[in-house]
Each structure stands twice: as C-alpha cells, then as structure tokens.
Amino acid sequence: MKNKIFFLVGPTAVGKSEVSLRLARKLNAEIISCDSMQIYRGMDIIASKPTPVMRKKIRHYMIDIVSPAAEYNVSTYRKEALKKIKEIIKKGKTPLFVGGTGLYMSILIDGIFKAKAQNKKIRQRLYDELGEHGGKYLYKKLKKIDFEAATKIHPNDSRRIIRALEVFESTGKTISSLKQQRVGLGEKYEITVFCLNMERQELRERIKRRVDKMFSLGLAAEVKKLSKLRLSKTASQAIGIKELKGYSDGLYDLEKAREMIIQATCQYAKRQLTWFRKDKRIQWIEIDDRESPQSLATRILERII
C-alpha cells in the first residue's frame, strides 16, 4: 500500500487556508506550504500566511524558512519538502500540500531532471541574442531543436525559452527528453490533487476584501520595512512591493496603489488557473462565497472516500 499525499491548490484568495485546516483534521494531516512567497520571513501580510492561531491548530511546514534577501529556487524547495513528507509520514500522519504555486506542485509530483544543465555564460549569450534579435528569433531556434518543448512554451515566455536552449547547449539533450527521465512523488506515493475554484466575479470580490484586510493589518508598513533590504529576485516579485514603491516615491496616492494591487492579484489568479487547467490529474471543486470552509472540507472528504 502506498502512503497517500494530498494537494489542495487554487487561485489566490479562494479560501485554501481555512478549508485546509478543516481538511487536515479529517485526514489526520499536517500541512506543507506550496507557496513561493510564504517561505520568506518578514513577508507575513504580503504573502497572506496562515495566522499564528491557524499554525497552532495544525502543524505547518515550509513557512518562514529563509530571509527575503536570499535566493531560493524550486529545486531547493523540492529537496526540503521531500524531507518534510518523510517526517510527517514517520509520525503516522498524512502530508497535505496547500498553496497556489503551480510550479512547486509540478516539481514535486513530476520530479526534476538531475542533469547539470546550468551554464551562466551560455545563458548570458542567449539573453544578449534576445536583446539583439528579439524573442521570435530564439523561439524559432527552439522549435528546430525541441519542437515538443516549443509547443508547451508561449512564444513570449523568453525566460523559459532561454532555459530550454540553455539545457540543450549545456547537455546536448533536449529539455523534453530530460523531463521524461524524471522521478516524481507518483512513483512512491498515491497522489490526489484538489483545486478550489469560483466564479470570476466572486473571486475578484474576495481579492478586493483580502487586499483591504492586508492594508488594515499594516501592509504598507511591512513593505516599507522590506524595502530596506536587498530583496532576492523572487521575493521582489511579490505583489504589492512594486505598487507600494510607486506610492512611496510619490508617483500616485495610496488608493491608486490599492487598485493596482487588486488588478495585479486578479491577473495572477488568472495565470494560476491557466496553469492548473493544463493538469488533467486535478479534481476541481467549484465553490461559492456562501459555502463554509467546514462544508467544503466535508465535500472534499466525500470525494476521497
């Protein structure tokens, strides 16, 4: 019998944290964050971390584990998360991953290729070619080398195009062929993934309420404190940092910053859903604003049983 691992994913503000607490109790589970911003210390409000009260009720992992000034990547996340899975199972409990970072979920379930495929000189040359010839030039090059990868990457996604070309030039193998050699959690565990989703306008209203709550909790002060640090590339991409910098620089007022954060968050939620819709293993849970977290957890449990 394989041990079971559950994932509860979905767009930002859909209500994953509250549902996960109820679900964790029913599954005798402990929660592993699957969120690329919650790993950073000092980013409590901006990353919408589970509150200290929530984390007392159910043990959470992979939160507050690194400084926002430190670089952190998916490979490191995967290695640390795999350790937590073993710890939780050893205690006789079930791992429950909760979050909205699709890449983190994918790298865990599908695995990661182990070839040493990083070469800064090659990467820099490819970025130089991007600047000189444009993204279409690199995309055409990728189509000739690895047509399968090119069909899965948007022509405007320069970062992923360059990564695929870098892998080929570094190893002599296409990124598609290397991905086929990956070993993920599915080889050893029974994986079930649920994704919460709601009607777009309802989700937008939830996002508005969340942003207002973040401001009331002291979002502006937290971002001001973070701005004194030299943030890592990933941490600096947290929604709210760029928008509030414009406010602090006097480019616009606080209300404008709020509107920009809401808009950026809605766009992010759309990208999250686009990512999850590509994964046919996901079981979708359609919800509305009136249903309680307890009811949702019960519905999910009925699917499991």
* Inter-residue contact 262 to 243 (CB < 8 Å): no
Q: How far apart are CA 295 and CA 23, in angstroms?
A: 10
Q: Write the CA distances from 194 to 48, 129, 255, integer angstroms.
A: 20, 41, 35
pLDDT digits (tens, 9 = 90+) for 118-164: 788 999 999 999 999 999 999 999 999 999 999 989 898 898 899 89
CATH class held by domain 120-179? mainly alpha
Position 184 pLDDT exceeds 90: no
Distance CA 268, CA 263 (A): 9
Report which of residues 180 and 52 the model is more confident about: 52
pLDDT at 133: 93
More confident residue, 173 or 95: 95
d(CA 283, CA 226): 37
pLDDT value of position 115 = 57
Please, which pLDDT band fits residue 260 given cuts at 50, 70 and 90? Answer: very high
Which of 11, 36, 9 shows the shortest CA–CA distance to 20? 9
In the numeric block, which tokens belong to residue 194? 């649920």
Residues in Cβ contact with 203 at an 8 Å cutoff, skipping those fewer than 6 apart = 11, 13, 14, 266, 269
Which is nearest to 237 in space by CA: 249, 252, 226, 247? Answer: 226
Cα four-point dihedral sign 73, 79, 82, 87: negative
Give the single-character DSSP code of 237: G
Which pair of structure tokens corresponds to residue 105?
């979920």
- CA 145-135-146 angle, 5° bins: 15
What pLDDT digit, counting tens, does each position of 15-50 carry? 999 999 999 999 999 999 999 999 999 999 999 999
Domains 4-112+183-304 and 120-179 belong to one CATH topology: no
Cα separation, 196 vs 157, in Å, equals 27
Interhelix angle for 158-171 vs 120-133, to 10°? 130
Res. 229 pLDDT band, cuts 50 70 90: very high
228 burial level (CB within 10 Å; 0-12, 13-18, 19+):
exposed
Helices (H) and strands (E) in the chain, counts: 14, 6
Q: Does domain 4-112+183-304 have CATH number 3.30.70.260?
A: no
Burial class (CB in 10 A: 0-12, 13-18, 19+), 180: exposed
> What is the spatial distance between Cα 302 and Cα 23, in angstroms, rounded to a whole number?
11
Residue 182 has pLDDT above 80, yes or no: no
pLDDT for 1 beyond 80:
no
238 CB-near residues (< 8 Å, 6+ apart): 37, 43, 46, 47
pTM, 2 dp: 0.83
Domain boundaries, the chain: 4-112+183-304, 120-179
